[in-house]
C-alpha cells in the first residue's frame, strides 16, 4: 500500500518508534530511522528492516533536542511523504521542584522537534500534493497526572500543533493527526516490572494489573504493533479525510 513513500520516524531505535517503522515497512514504505546516537547497532536496525521487508531503510543520527538537527534530518533524508514525530523523554517531579533544564529538554524533544521537522517537511509534501504527519502524543495529551508537568504540557502542545497543521494543510492532500497511546509495553516499561514486583511484593500479572495499569480500564498494555497499525491506517486512503484529530489507543483511559 505504501510502496514508493518515504517515512521518517524520529526516535525510532527502540520502543514505539521502532514498532511504527516496522509496520510502515511491512506496508511497503521506505523508512528512515533516527535517534541521537550513531552506533553500529542503530544502522543494523535499518539493515534488518530493509532485508525483512524488501524496502529501502537507513538510519540518520540527529538530536531532536536541537532545532537545526531536526531540520537537518529532513534535509539529509531528502524529504519525506510520511513524518512520524515520536521522539520523547519523561521526567517526574513536583512542579515546584522540577529542574528547569529538564523542563527545557522535554519541551524541546517532545514538542519543539515536531514543529521543526514539520516545518521542514511540509514544502516537499505540498509539492507532491500528498503527505502524512503523525504525531505520537499520549493519553497525557488529553488528560493530566501529577508530577509530569513538562511531559503533559508538551503532549497537550503536540495535540494543538497537530490541529493547527491540519487546518493549514486542509485540502492539499496532506493530513496531520495525533495518536494518543495509554501505557504501551516497550522495553522501557518492561524494565520497570521487576522493580515494581519487588517494591509491592506482587507477581508480574498482579503488579501490571493493580499498579501499572490502574488507570487503563482494559488492564492491558497497548502494543507497539497497535500503534504502528494505527499509523498505517492514518497513511491509508481510508483516512484521507481524517485530519486535525486525536486517536486514542488507551484501553479506555480517556473515557473515564
Ligand atoms: P523509548 O524510550 O523506547 O523511545 C524513545 C525514543 O526517542 C528512543 O528511540 C530514543 O532514542 C529517542 N530519543 C530520546 N531523546 C532523543 C533525542 N534527543 N533525539 C532523538 N531521539 C531521541 O520510549 P517509547 O515508550 O517508545 O516512547 C516513544 C514515544 O511514545 C514518546 O514520545 C512517548 O512520550 C510516547 N508514549 C509512550 C507511551 C508508553 O507507555 N510507552 C505512552 C504514551 C506515549
How much distance in Å is there from the Cα of 184 to the middle of ligand 1? 11
**In the sheet where 82-85 sits, what is the strand order?**
57-61, 30-35, 6-9, 82-85, 131-136, 174-181, 246-249
CA distance 256 to 240: 30
Q: How confident is the model at residue 66, as a pLDDT? A: 98
Q: Cβ < 6 Å from ligand 1: which residues?
A: 11-17, 35-36, 63-65, 86-89, 109-110, 136, 138, 181, 183-184, 186, 188-189
- Whether 33 and 135 share a structural domain: yes
The partner residues of 136 in beta bridges, in order of sequence, read 179
CA distance 98 to 157: 19
CA distance 16 to 224: 5
Share above pLDDT 90 across residues of the chain, in percent, rounded to a whole number: 96
- Whether 41 and 73 share a structural domain: yes
Nearest ligand 1 atom to alpha carbon 140: 43
14, 15, 141, best to mutate for ligand 1 pocket (most atoms within 8 Å of CB): 15
pLDDT tens string 76-88: 999 999 999 999 9
Q: What is the number of domains present in the chain?
A: 2
How much distance in Å is there from the Cα of 202 to the middle of ligand 1? 27
Residue 1 forms part of a structural domain:
no
Q: Which residues are catalytic?
A: 151
Residue nearest to atom 36 of ligand 1 (CA): 138
Mean pLDDT for 20-44 is 98
Residue 255 forms part of a structural domain:
no
Domain CATH for 137: 3.40.50.720
pLDDT tens string 104-139: 999 999 999 999 999 999 999 999 999 999 999 999
> Which residue from 117, 125, 34 is spatially nearest to 70, judged by alpha carbons?
117
Q: CB-based contacts of 76: which residues, under 8 Å, 6+ apart?
A: 60, 62
Q: How confident is the model at residue 44, as a pLDDT? A: 98
Distances in Å between the Cα of 27 and the Cα atoms of 3, 6, 230 are: 7, 12, 12
pTM, 2 dp? 0.97
How much distance in Å is there from the Cα of 85 to the middle of ligand 1? 10
* Secondary structure of residue 159 in the 3-state scheme: helix
The partner residues of 81 in beta bridges, in order of sequence, read none
CB atoms within 10 A of CB 207: 21
- Whether 43 and 165 share a structural domain: yes
- Whether 206 and 121 share a structural domain: no
- Whether 120 and 234 share a structural domain: yes
DSSP type of residue 26: H
Residue 191: pLDDT band (50, 70, 90) is: confident
CA distance 175 to 185: 28
Average model confidence (pLDDT) across the chain: 97
Query: Contact 34/61 with Cβ under 8 angstroms?
Result: yes
pLDDT at 192 over 90: no
Query: Contact 121/8 with Cβ under 8 angstroms?
Result: yes
Query: Contact 113/160 with Cβ under 8 angstroms?
Result: no
pLDDT tens string 133-180: 999 999 999 999 999 999 999 999 999 999 999 999 999 999 999 999
How much distance in Å is there from the Cα of 105 to the middle of ligand 1? 13
**Domain of residue 68, residue span:** 6-184+222-248
Residue nearest to atom 8 of ligand 1 (CA): 11
pLDDT at 187 over 90: no
- Whether 100 and 193 share a structural domain: no
Q: Which three cell numbers stand for residue 167?
A: 487546518
* Secondary structure of residue 237 in the 3-state scheme: helix
Residue nearest to atom 12 of ligand 1 (CA): 11
Amino acid at each position: 500500500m505504501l510502496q514508493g513513500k518515504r517515512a521518517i520516524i524520529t526516535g525510532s531505535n527502540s520502543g514505539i518508534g521502532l514498532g511504527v517503522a516496522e509496520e510502515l515497512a511491512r506496508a511497503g514504505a521506505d523508512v528512515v530511522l533516527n535517534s541521537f546516537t550513531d552506533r553500529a547497532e542503530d544502522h543494523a536496525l535499518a539493515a534488518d528492516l530493509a532485508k525483512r521487508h524488501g524496502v529501502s531503510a537507513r538510519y540518520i543520527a540527529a538530536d531532536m533536542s536541537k532545532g537545526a538537527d531536526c531540520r537537518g534530518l529532513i534535509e539529509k533524508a531528502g524529504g519525506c511523504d510520511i513524518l512520524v514525530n515520536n521522539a520523547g523523554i519523561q521526567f517526574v517531579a513536583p512542579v515546584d521542584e522540577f529542574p528547569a533544564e529538564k523542563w527545557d529538554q522535554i519541551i524541546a524533544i517532545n514538542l519543539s522537534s515536531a514543529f521543526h521537522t514539520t516545518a521542514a517537511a511540509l514544502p516537499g509534501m505540498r509539492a507532491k500534493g500528498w503527505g502524512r504527519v503523525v504525531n505520537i502524543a499520549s493519553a497525557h495529551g488529553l488528560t493530566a497526572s501529577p508530577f509530569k508537568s513538562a511531559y503533559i504540557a508538551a503532549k497537550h502542545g503536540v495535540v494543538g500543533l497537530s490541529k493547527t497543521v491540519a487546518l493549514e494543510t486542509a485540502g492539499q492532500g496532506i493530513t496531520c493527526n495525533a495518536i494518543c497511546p495509554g501505557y504501551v509495553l516497550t522495553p522501557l516499561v518492561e524494565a520497570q516490572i521487576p522493580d515494581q514486583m519487588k517494591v509491592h511484593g506482587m507477581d508480574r500479572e498482579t503488579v501490571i494489573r493493580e499498579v501499572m495499569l490502574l488507570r487503563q480500564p482494559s488492564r492491558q498494555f497497548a502494543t507497539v504493533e497497535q500503534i504502528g497499525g494505527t499509523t498505517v491506517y492514518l497513511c491509508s486512503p481510508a483516512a484521507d479525510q481524517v485530519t486535525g484529530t486525536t486517536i486514542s489507543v488507551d484501553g479506555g483511559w480517556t473515557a473515564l
